[in-house]
Each structure stands twice: as C-alpha cells, then as structure tokens.
Structure 1
C-alpha cells in the first residue's frame, strides 16, 4: 500500500499537470466517470508518480494507452469483506477480483483471528502487501463473537489497542455483540473504548435491531451497519446517522430489496460483498456484479459507481482514493460499457494490475476432534425446535420439533471433545454428510446431513486435511477441498479452488441437497449473533432470547 506523496513527487505532479514535464502514463480518449458530480465526460488522464496528475488534453507521457472511448472509472473498493470466506488467500482473492475491477478492499479478518488471535491479523496484512491489491483491515472487535462461542483465540481491549496500532488498520471491525453493547457488558465496552482512537471508524453489525435499541446502538458510537434486509430497516439506519452498507454476498443477498432506498441517492451509502465464495466470484463477479444490478434497477451509472468508490473511501478516511482526480492514487478501471461493467483493464498506482504469487506461511489452525469422536453418536433432544435454513440469508427460522429432514452437528475443533446436534429443514441433504472447518465465527467443525458413520468419517477426513471441506457418503469421501491456511483458506489458483468447490456442491446434490451454495450456507449456521437459532458445540442457541436451550 502506498503512503502519502512527498514534496518531490507532489511537485512533479504539479509540473506534469502544467505540461512542463511528461508524465509516466497517458490514457487517451477515455470517457471519465466522475462519481463525485454524477458526470461522464471525455478526457485524457495523465499519471505521474503513481497518481493522477491531470485530466484534459494535450499531455505527453512516456507511455500511452488508447482508451478508444472506453469508460474510465475509479477502481472499486469493497469496504467490508471477509477474504477468508472466499476460501482464498489474499493473493488468490486478488487474482479473482482484480480482473473484475476491484483494486482495494478493507478486510475484516475475524475468521483467521478467531482461529489464531492477533497474529492472524498481522498475517492478513502481510499477505495483503504482496497480493497485488490494496488491502487494508479493521481490527476484529468480537473474538469470540459472543459469550456462547469459544474458538481458538480470544481478543480483549489490550489486544484491540495493539491491532489498531498495526499499519494498515483503519478502525474497529463490526461490533456484532449488540446485546453486550446495549446491556453495558464491561468487556464489550472496554473494546469500544479502545477503538475510539482519533480518526478511527467503529463498524457496526446490528442484525434485526430496531427502534429504541437501534437508537441506543448508534448512540454508543457505532458508525455503520450492513445488516439491513428491508427498506424500512435501511431508512431507520440512515435516519440514525449510520452509514448504510448494502450487502450482496453468497450467503446474504440484500441488494434487490434495498434498491428502492439506493434510488433515492442517500448520501451515506455503499455496496459491500461481506462474504462471497470463490465459485460465485468466478461465475458472477464481485462488485461489478452489484453495479450491473444497480444500473438495471434504475440507478444512474455514476451514482452506482459512487457506492463502490468515493463513498467507501470517504467512510474509511482514505482521502486520496475513490476518484479519478488530480493528486489521487491512479487506481482505475477501463470499462467497455456502463451496463454490463465488463472490465477491459485494471490499473493500481498507474500500472496494469497483476495479482501476486507469494503467500507468507501461516502455522496453526488444524482440526482436533478428540479420541471420543470414533464412537460418537449424534442424538438430538426431542424437544428442541428445528432450525429452518434459508438459502439466501444468514438468518434462520424456527420450526416445530420433529419437522426436520437433515441433522446438523457442530464439534469443537480445538481439542475439547465437545459437540452438539440439532435438526434442520430447507437443505434436503440426507444422503451424504457435508463437513467443513469454516463455521462463523469460532470456526469449529460443522457437519450437515448423513449418518453417524458418515459424520464420523467426515470429521476424520477434516483432521487429515488440517481443515477444509469434505463430502462423505456410504463411508467414502466423494469430494474434498483442503484448506491448509488456518483451516480456512487454500493457496490453489481460484479456478482450481472453484472447481473443487463445484465438485463438493455436486456431491451434495447427489445427496439430495437443494442449497445453491451449500458450503457457504453451512458456514453460517453457528454464528451466534444472527437470529433466530444457531448451533454451538455447547448446544442450540435461541439468539432472540439470548440463551442456550436446556
């Protein structure tokens, strides 16, 4: 990530803008998208010292790129994304998203931090520096996400202060423990206090919170929320002064529902992906996909582009990013048109973007289920309600006991030898067992469907892989994807990782599964801060009542 420009570079920009010296790069004949004003206008773009020097005509440069009328827009910035949810390392994520126009991300690495603690954040930043993409981060605030979870590590206020001091950390990550905020939990408030450093953002996460509770949550000092699922929730957040992050990922899809709000051009709004899997990245795209949906839904292209450029840059205090304007970093994309948003080329710092090939090593984070696993059985208490799984949301419903069709098992992967089981509906997976070591946020092992024997076999396969995803039926492994980086990520090229994920999905389909993205959906069935029912190794949690069921 580039720092501030020194006087020498700034003076060179000034001389290049005045035509006194040539620039490094000239993009000639472009249609510039200016999201700050909602304009699209013809101009050449001159670059020097990695930044835009000027817009206009008659410039000279060492190298010229002919745009031939293509649209030149600022590089896309994802203001809230869990890179780990793609199942890729930062270099792999960059390889999948740079060709889609994403030049920068603000990662929320609480997945790897839940597994490894603060060294996980340091690794994410280190890996981001060699990824070819600009990778900033926010400091995870809820590790574990709530008192009902316990992963491989914990983060307190002192850890938060240390993380906020790391170069590249822009603020406090999503405060998911809203009951702790509203109830005055001392540990939660100590983390909030540590996050109130000058110029730092405090990201919010208030699923289902409305009315006085939402007012109180905003009054605690949170700045944003990405959990709105209806126009009413979105308007309520905007009226409370929160920045609205409209989420569209693999597990939670809120954009279509919130398009009426975005058509009103709210001042404080942006688009984020949150969690998106590698197969969907390659098949459907990243932020470019969201832009297509916005324009098809009635937004002016320049106003849609603002939602992934200058708005998120302003939110995070990235003052020299998000616009194609003099003095700003020369991060931009050439687009064939402003309907399909097909990317012709992506530039970072005035250079054609290329994903990195190096990922630093990361130790720790395997799967240990304990010696009792080989004889485990997974009975479900008869009086427990059924978790109703929704294919396009991370919230779940509550069904009557006895109405389920696929069992869910969550097992401690850190050697405690504890597990619990419940029934689910809405997945159709009964003829095979899907096992994963990616379970938000504590990242225990989770198993959906199958017999006791298939579940036990899937658990041992995860141990042998050091973490990953497997499908077992008839006692045999039918498909698998090793995730050797903390049991969360692979360094396979994106196309190979996506192919393995498609094989897993096909094996799930053969077992009756009807979910479009079964691995991603399963990975959220243990997140204890999202209503209504979630499963932990300690038992079934009623999130609304905030208690484990007896």
Structure 2
C-alpha cells in the first residue's frame, strides 16, 4: 500500500495550507498533543494535508479542512513504531499482523525477516517487503546478517555476503539486521566479517545481538561497528551497553521479557533507548496488546508519559533514519494515534498518512518451505545420549541453563526434546529438558524453530513424535499436539511453515486450542509454542538443540554423541 504522504515531490501545497492560504484535508481539533521531543503535552489543533502534518496551534489559528475530527481533549501522540520485530513470530502474515496491531496504535515496524529468509533465502525478504506494502501498515526491514545463525545450524538457505549486499540495496531496507554470531565477530571469522563489511558499505544501521556478552568482549563487539543491542537482561548489562555507545533496545516479547528488569534504567531517561517486542505471538497481541502494553508498564512504573512515548516514536525513528516519522510536527508523516488517556493508552483512532488506518490485503505465499523429515521418518527412534546434560528451560526467557546428566527423565517429570531437519537431509537429535512439564503423555510439534526453522518436538514417546511429524508434513508446516497417536489440536502455517493467512482472532483461537491441549498433557509454560521455538537457537546460551546435536553455546561446540574415553 502506497501512502499519500510517501510522495517526495512538491510540498508547496503543504506550505500554503500551513500559512492558511488554502484548506487542508483533515483537522483534528482540541487535542492534547504529546510532544516527546520536548517532554510536553499541550492543547492544539492539528492540520493535515497530503498525508503530512501542515501545522498545529491554538483555536485562534482558525484552521480550515475538508474533514474535522473533534478530539474533545483526547491525547494525540505520534504513531507507535516497533524498531525490531520478527513478524513471522506472531504466526501472522504482515496483513494479519496489521489487523492485530493497528487498533493498538502501531503504525510502523522495522521487520527483521530472518525467519522467512532462513527458509526461502533472499526472496523471503523481498516477499516480506511486498507483503508489507499491501498490509495497511508501514513495514520497513533490516537485512538478515546470520542465515543460518551459526555454523551449527542448517536451514533452508545459506545467505552469503554478496547476497546480503543485494538485500541491503532493496528499497525499504534500512540497515544490517542483528549480528547474532558474536563468537564469529570476536574470533575474526572471515565470512562474518565479509557480511559486516557489506553492512558498513551500505551505510545504514548495524544491529547487535550479544546475549550475555560483557566487559572487554562487549567493547570489542561494539568496536566492530554495532549500533544497538536488545539482549540486555539486567540493569548492569543495560548500562554497560549504553556506556559502550550502543542504543538500548528494551525487549518485551512472548518468550523474553526484560522490561520490568530494565525499567530502573529507563527511569534514568537514557538518551538512546527504545522499546521493542522482538517476538510476540498472536494470542498475546490480542490479549495484552503490542507497544501500548509496554507503554502502560512504563507509565505505571513511574516514567513520564512523554518519555515513555518517545521510546516508541521519535527514538526508533531517529535510530533508523526515518526522519519524517516519530513526531506530530509540521512536515512529518501524519501517522498519529488518538488516545483516551496516558495511563491505559486506550486507542480511539489510528491514522496513517492522515487517514484512518485500515488493514490491507494478504500477499500470496512463495513456493517452498514445507516439511520433509527424511525417507526413514516412519522407523526413526530418538535416543538421548546418557552423558548429555539436561537443558533447563525458563518460562519467560530464551536463555537456558545446564542440568546434570540424568537429572531429568520421563519418570522425574522431564520431557524429551527432538529436533529434526525439515529440509530433507534426515539429520535429527534428542536431549532431555526440565521445567516444561510436558512429560511423555503426548507431543507438541512445531515447524518454527528459530532460526533455521527445523521441526521440534517436546515430550511424548517415539510413536507420538513420528505422528506429529506426519501432521506437520501434511499441513505444510504448523504447530500440533499429538497424544496416543491422534492429533488433539493444530494450527497450519502454510506460509513457509511459519505463518497463517487466517484472521488474527481465528489464528489465536487455534493457537489457544494447541496451548490448552499441551497444558492438558502437563505443560506449564505460559506460551509453550513460543518458548519451544527458541530452544534450538544456536547463539543464545547456554544449551540449544539442533539437528546436528546438543550445542554448548558458551563453549561454542557440539557435544559428542558418545562420552570422551579419556
């Protein structure tokens, strides 16, 4: 969707409207304007022409417009911008995502489409931007830098530095996406540094991703040219990143929740900070909200409303070089949200380019991205090496911890996890987990295992795992719960095995059935699909499972399938 305010041509009409020489298109009268740049909230009328703000001022300005909206003292803020999000993690297409977040005041997102790129390669990024243009939401993108995330993963694509450079030239791409392979950065890996050089040559932002990295290693990582990081989990980590010159992206998603822990840092009003959701599922979007939910938390925690609003408007706009976005001010895109108050952030109306925001159309999926678990899947067994440590799972973080070998099994309440290559190569591995509650009475299966997006199965016996694999294959990807060999609940994800074109409410209902079925089998995770989807991400400490085996992220090596005899 091309917005009227995207036009870069003659602004002379905007000047004439601002001077009162002709009428505008829209007048929002009697609003309390939130101005995060000056930390003010003041009453004003706001005049819009050609999709941009022409002027704002008091009633004495006598503004004229073809259409008038009476704000009656409601608060008018810039439209909310999510500076780092994986739309695919919502399980929705961009159009479905827009349908979920436009009523929450979100007008733009910087998508990091490495989920679909890991499955489909460069054409996945091109599809994401095309789908974004027809979604009704402003969708920009960053170019994935780690496809696959590390040498320990195999997905559907392997993106080279040359292909990264090509993505960086695509209109709508604002910079290099999160460089997750920090061991490769610090260790001088030639392929990683070729990608960094491509990012530098493009001249845009370079997002960081350095979970647990501190001290001299953090300084070295920042010195490599990173501009931001969204992996801080403690105030100490957040301050250390700010002192290193990195923009602080405070993440609050479905699998990793850092806002409460980092709120004390935000109360110090750091100049270079923003709120991002990173990964948020459709059920949470509908139940709790998007960036509006984060704003409620910030204000309830003591942050001035204008300072909170800055974290989702002018700050992400400045970081990404979106200089016509992020403020209600003359010349800026008229992307605005009318709010009942600045406590609950209840949205009355969302405007993009000076018109009421409406969701757009779904773009057809690309070919490819199904599920092929190998010719021997029907007879596969999934044994766990007895000497492997147990992966301890946390309900609200994507990091895991190490448990002693043998400390979890089906008798002790542990759950076996299986990861299988879904691109036909036949690789698979299994380990024990604790903290999920799944046990052996049934299996949760998914095709959305970050970032290579292989198939993962939590709990159950071999028969249930195989049955879940068959269900994923028949659906072309998705999420499923199997018990006793029978499907209990499912959500097909035909878009690259990652996304559905169902409306958000229907998708959330189907996902809710999957969650309820998993809980009936003993699962204690608040968002079991989202949490499971991160248990294979090879760049997040400390243990992760890939089709090649169990990875010790801190030691940066796969654990041997048999004990070392020495």
TM-score (norm: length of structure 1): 0.99
2:301 maps to 1:297? yes
SS at match of 1:127: helix
Report the counterpart of residue 499 of structure 2 in structure 1.
489
Equivalent pair of 1:123/1:360 in contact (CA under 8 Å) = no
Q: Which residue of 2 aligns with 1:514?
A: 524
Counterparts in 2 of 1:378-527, with a 5 A limit?
378-404=382-408, 405-430=414-439, 431-527=441-537
1:285 matched to 2:289? The reply is: yes
Equivalent runs, 1:159-170 vs 2, <5 Å: 159-170=163-174
How many Å apart are 1:199 and its aligned residue?
3.8
Residue in 2 aligned with 1:87?
91
1:463 CA drift (Å): 0.3
SS at match of 1:113: helix
1: distance between equivalents of 2:342 and 2:277? 20
Aligned length in residues: 549
2:310 to 306, 311, 335: 306
Which of 365, 368, 371 is residue 372 of structure 2 equivalent to? Answer: 368
Cα displacement (A) at 1:5? 4.4
Equivalent position of 1:29 in the other structure: 30
CA apart distance, 1:362:
1.6
Question: Structure 2 CA distance, aligned partners of 1:266 and 1:145?
Answer: 30
What is the CA-CA distance between 1:418 and the residue it aligns to?
A: 1.2
Which segments of 5 or more consecutive residues in structure 1 lack a partner in the other structure? none
**Offset, 1:305:** 0.1
SS of residue in 1 equivalent to 2:201: coil
**Offset from partner CA, 1:68-120 (integer Å, 9 cap, x none):** 11000000000000000000000000000000000000000000000000000
Task: Note closer, same or farther for the CA distance 1:386–1:6 as it changes in structure 2 (3 Å cut).
Answer: closer
Q: Distance in 2 between matches of 1:476 and 1:531?
A: 34
Q: Cα offset for 1:386?
A: 0.2
How far is the alpha carbon of 1:532 from its aligned partner? 0.2
Q: 1:523-550: CA deviations, max 9, x gaps?
A: 0000000000000001000000000001
Find 1:377's aligned residue among 374, 381, 385. 381
Point out 4+ residue stretches in structure 1 off by more than 6 angstroms: none
Q: Deviation at 1:4?
A: 5.6
Of the three residues 199, 204, 207, the one matched with 1:200 is: 204
Q: SS state of the match for residue 197, structure 1?
A: helix
CA deviation string 1:24-63 (max 9, x = no partner): 0000010000000100000000000000000013100000
Aligned 8 A contact 1:126 1:360 in 2 = no
Show the counterpart of 1:344: 348
Gaps of 5+ in 2: 409-413, 561-566
Whole-angstrom distance in 1 between the partners of 2:17 and 2:548: 64
> 1:496, 1:400 → 2: CA distance?
42
User: What is the SS of the residue equivalent to 1:495?
Assistant: helix
> Which residue of the partner structure matches residue 325 of structure 2?
321
Deviations 1:264-297 (A, max 9, x none): 0000000000000000000000000000000001
Check whether the contact 2:175–2:202 (CA below 8 A) recurs between aligned residues. Answer: no
Measured in 2, the distance between the counterparts of 1:530 and 1:15 equals: 54
Within a 5 Å distance, the mapping from 1:143-182 to structure 2 comes to 143-182=147-186
| Contact map agreement 2:165 2:202 (CA 8 A) in 1 | no
- Secondary structure of 1:505's partner? helix
